[in-house]
């Protein structure tokens, strides 16, 4: 079984292996993990009105829940990051509209919002010496990336494990330009890597009925 990135956990439960399927996690490998890679839980989808702002709010609430209680910095990052995605879509609207014009209005530029990399709050990243904690992590094309905030101190363990990291200063939590700079190349034109927009507000393959047998 391939290694997994666990998330939404302040500490690892005793007596449970990191690859236990009962723990929230995603495979360590598999390319960029996007907001749309895995459908949101059915309960979360059901609570959201079918409008783009309402669905962004539902995604934000779901990600913030993974941050845990009394996690002001993590929650501030989630809010700032989702705002940055919306800002980038707005800045590139003319080009995105032109690229979608051939679909006759089936898609809008906002549909590309969900192609952005998905943050994993309270992540536990695999390493030879065991899982290493990260305040926020991403799974990118070349593997995990951990974020280190100015008021937190997991950096030594991440460096010892050879995990890539980026520093996020306090200014990046309130300024789009500062956050975009801090995230670097991972905030490239994320919509260019997907053929068509896709939403996380969809049914999971596991929820679909099995085909009828002959």
More confident: 208 or 130: 130
Using only C-alpha atoms, the chain has a radius of gyration, in whole angstroms, of 18
Q: What is the mean pLDDT of residues 124-145?
A: 93
Going by C-alpha positions, the residue among 10, 1, 37 that lies closest to residue 131 is: 10
- C-beta of residue 145 within 8 angstroms of C-beta of residue 166: yes
The gap from C-alpha 129 to its chain's centroid, in whole angstroms, comes to 25
The C-alpha torsion from 65 through 7 and 10 to 76, rounded to 10°, is -50
Quote the mean pLDDT of the chain: 88
Strands 143-149 and 164-168: parallel
Q: What is the mean pLDDT of residues 178-199?
A: 89
- C-beta of residue 149 within 8 angstroms of C-beta of residue 135: yes
- C-beta of residue 148 within 8 angstroms of C-beta of residue 131: no
Band of residue 26 on the pLDDT scale cut at 50, 70, 90: very high
Q: How far apart are CA 110 and CA 93, in angstroms?
A: 9
208 pLDDT more than 60: no
Band of residue 100 on the pLDDT scale cut at 50, 70, 90: very high
Q: What is the mean pLDDT of residues 95-124?
A: 95
Band of residue 204 on the pLDDT scale cut at 50, 70, 90: low
201 pLDDT more than 70: yes
Q: Which residue has the tokens 């990291």?
A: 165
Which distant-in-sequence residues (6+ apart) come within 8 Å of 93 by Cβ? 109
Helices (H), the chain: 42-47, 52-67, 72-91, 93-100, 155-160, 176-183
More confident: 197 or 21: 197
Band of residue 70 on the pLDDT scale cut at 50, 70, 90: confident
Q: What is the mean pLDDT of residues 146-163?
A: 83
What confidence score (pLDDT) does residue 122 get? 95
Residue 163, φ and ψ in degrees, nearest 5: -90, 135
Q: Is 194 helix (H, G, I), strand (E, B) or coil?
A: coil
Whole-angstrom CA distances from 7 to 99, 129, 171, 172, 214 are: 35, 18, 25, 23, 42
Least confident among 69-78, 143-152, 200-209: 200-209
Q: How far apart are CA 147 and CA 81, in angstroms?
A: 12
Tell me the per-residue pLDDT of 27-67, one tens digit each, with 9 for 90 and over.
999 999 999 999 998 988 988 888 999 999 999 999 999 99
Q: Of all residues in the chain, what percent carry a pLDDT higher than 70?
A: 93
More confident: 66 or 210: 66
Predicted structure pTM score: 0.91
């Amino acid at each position: 079984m391939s290694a997994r990135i666990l998330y939404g956990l302040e500490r690892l439960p005793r007596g449970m292996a990191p690859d236990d399927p009962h723990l929230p996690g995603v495979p360590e490998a598999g390319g960029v993990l996007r907001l749309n890679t895995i459908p949101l839980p059915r309960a979360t989808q059901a609570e959201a009105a079918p409008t783009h702002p309402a669905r962004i709010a539902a995604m934000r609430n779901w990600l913030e829940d993974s941050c845990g209680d009394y996690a002001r910095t993590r929650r501030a990052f989630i809010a700032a990051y989702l705002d940055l995605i919306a800002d980038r879509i707005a800045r590139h609207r003319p080009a995105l509209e032109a690229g979608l014009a051939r679909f006759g209005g089936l898609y809008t530029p906002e549909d590309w919002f969900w192609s952005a990399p998905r943050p994993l709050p309270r992540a536990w990243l695999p390493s030879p010496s065991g899982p290493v904690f990260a305040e926020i992590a991403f799974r990118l094309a070349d593997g995990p990336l951990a974020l280190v905030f100015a008021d937190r101190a997991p950096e030594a363990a991440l460096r010892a494990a050879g995990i890539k990291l980026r520093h996020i200063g306090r200014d990046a939590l309130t300024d789009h330009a500062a956050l975009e700079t801090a995230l670097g190349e991972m905030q490239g034109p994320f919509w260019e890597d997907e053929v068509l927009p896709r939403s996380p507000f969809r049914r999971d393959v596991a929820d679909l009925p099995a085909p009828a047998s002959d």
